[in-house]
Chains A and B, each alone.
Chain A
């Protein structure tokens, strides 16, 4: 059959009023190499099917061939925007498995690093969400501030994005002189920019019109889909592992869990999810301030690192509050220096699964905003 004839046949079988389009993997606002197969009727989305796997790097299989400390750099590459937060549940799981008591100073530095990285992650999330809505200027404001945070993390670990800083039982290095002042300056700068962005973006009339009452995720649906992090809290569920399943030294700090309130629209809409992130930046600032004040100056951050890492036979699951939700690692040890199995519970993967549920019936432009409000990183979806 000739090319022309075959095409005619195909077209005659198609419905005339619906159009299937591929959003991605080279689309500017899929936040990575995600492909959404979208069926639209005019401008209304009738069906969304996410296709994954464009960034699959076979993380879990790789882990089985490497020693425990060698795995840490790979973990950075899961959610490359919040690498410090990624390393934490893994090293905590290993410490739990091997029964290591870590020095107090290490805990403080870990908390500060994780919270700084949480701020950096939320800055990207809010910035790109604004970009999806067409506002370019807040994007650059946030990226300017994020640069200062990256500088601190770079001075601490030597890398800008993939830090490889946490060690099983300690850290790669101690704080540098002037670290506390830098952190306090960052906190000041983050608050200043947030106040500015509140006027410029968050309470902008057009932005509210675009995001309020769009992509409503009811609390029960969010729980059924096992959503976590700001996606779940945006629906009004007060669930945060830092409070509910306190790990490390989070019980020593005074901070709140921001939840969605439905302030400008319905509870659980895109605006709420975004607002939770903005509020969480403020809470992270509070934690950093308290941690800086309480942090001991003395102490060796490497004293508890074991010489040989060879955990006993057994299995362990540990999870921590990642900026995007709870990230967990399930590790099975067979008594050698290499794990039998490492399973990661990727937050973005779980949160992404809710997209087909909440984006039906909205306009095509809303679909992009809903995707942006979920805040996914494809490295974590595909692993």
Chain B
């Protein structure tokens, strides 16, 4: 299958076009991160009956820019006894892991940076790079809290990757492809063709719908744990571990962690939107369907998921580390296996 990419269509596959294709998601990440920080500030304020930032710009919309400027100005402190190379490298590795995953995210029918056939596999592979960064940062800081935070976060990442992978594997069984663009194309048409509702097919698919909805919930919960969001923010649980693995970081390095967290939030939201919610497809058949509208639908679906993540963060308390493991291994994993079996059975019978 030929991958459609509007930049290559316009400019041909030359050096400049490749640079453009690479930098487009980066620009998107930066703008998105600012928007997400503002959303976090404002949504938390509305949940708590506050106004949120109101001074910088109209209704405080320039607040994230002010915060980034502040972080750039801050002194960049490296602790005396830190392992300097690892300490300085860790934030960049984490951000690289988050940013690399953007390579296969289909933003629109005509734009996916790299439409490789093992797209979903690739996302999982690079998603785990951030675990290395977390351990590096936590260990190199030479701080007991950082070390504990790093240990916890790696344990958490590994145990929650399994249910998430099972959820995605089930959809791969349904779609029989790992190419994210292909998965999107399968879901075109009305919203009942989305994989959250069993994917395209006749009315006989009705009994598989509860399982696919369950899978989407499992993926969402696991993705919260993978991005260290409440109620699974144990690696950086401020009441216990001060700030977890990034306790010692300041200035721009801290900002990198911050950006990586928000980029990761978008990645998992984008995967959820792509494989369960139809990606760039309009919910209403051909209504508002098209390449530009596709980007609109995709980004708004992903943003809705990000909104739910923010919403949960300001509503729920935090799990304890053993309860987190319990939920991961004894609740989500068996349920995801059951759903996987059900979906496989459905595909065999079809």
Contacts and interface: CB of A to CB of B under 8 A. Distances in A.
Do A and B pair up? The answer is yes
Interface of A: 19, 21, 27-29, 43, 130-137, 140-141, 144, 200-201, 204, 206-207, 209-210, 363-366, 368
A135 to B, nearest CB: 4
B231 A206 contact: yes
A366 B320 CA distance: 8
Contact of A43 (B144, B315, B317, B322): B322
A84 to B, nearest CB: 27
B242 interface: yes
Nearest to B326: A209
A207 B230 CA distance: 13
Nearest 8 pairs of A and B residues by beta carbon: A134-B318, A29-B239, A135-B317, A133-B317, A140-B48, A134-B317, A132-B239, A207-B317
B314 A134 contact: no
Contacts of A210: 317-320, 323
Interface in B268-318: 314-318
Nearest to B81: A7
Interface in B27-54: 44, 47-50
A368 B50 CA distance: 28
B317 A201 contact: yes
A136 to B, nearest CB: 6
B226 interface: no
Q: Which of B44, B239, B323 has the most CB of A within 10 A?
A: B239
Contacts, number: 75
Given A19-B144, A140-B50, A141-B49, 20 more contacts: A21-B144, A29-B238, A43-B321, A43-B322, A131-B239, A134-B233, A134-B237, A134-B239, A134-B316, A136-B314, A140-B49, A201-B317, A204-B316, A206-B231, A207-B317, A210-B323, A363-B320, A365-B234, A365-B240, A368-B240
B145 interface: yes
Interface string B231-252: 1011001111010000000000
A365 B231 contact: no
Contacts of A201: 317
Nearest to B143: A21
A144 B49 contact: yes
Interface in B59-85: none
13 contacts: A29-B240, A130-B317, A132-B239, A134-B318, A135-B315, A135-B316, A136-B314, A137-B314, A140-B49, A206-B318, A209-B323, A210-B318, A363-B320
A144 B148 CA distance: 35
A134 B234 CA distance: 9
Contacts of B322: 43, 363
Contact of B237 (A27, A130, A365): A365
Nearest to A131: B239
A196 B238 CA distance: 25
Contacts of B233: 134
A28 B317 contact: no
A66 B212 CA distance: 75
B225 to A, nearest CB: 13
Contacts of B240: 29, 364-365, 368
A305 B192 CA distance: 80
A202 to B, nearest CB: 11
A209 B323 CA distance: 8
Nearest to B314: A137
A214 to B, nearest CB: 9
Contacts of B231: 134, 206
Contacts of B316: 134-135, 204, 206
Contacts of B144: 19, 21
Given A134-B231, A206-B318, A28 B239 contact: yes
Nearest to B47: A137
Nearest to A209: B323
A170 to B, nearest CB: 39
Contacts of A368: 239-240
Nearest to A144: B49
Contacts of B47: 137
A355 B144 CA distance: 22
A365 B48 contact: no
Nearest to B320: A365
A324 to B, nearest CB: 20
A133 B238 CA distance: 10
A136 B319 CA distance: 14
Nearest to A214: B320
Nearest to B152: A43
B317 A206 contact: yes
Contacts of B323: 209-210
A206 B326 CA distance: 13
Contacts of B321: 43, 363, 365
Contacts of A144: 49
Nearest to A201: B317
A27 B319 contact: no
A21 B145 contact: yes
Contacts of B317: 130, 133-135, 201, 204, 206-207, 210
A5 to B, nearest CB: 16
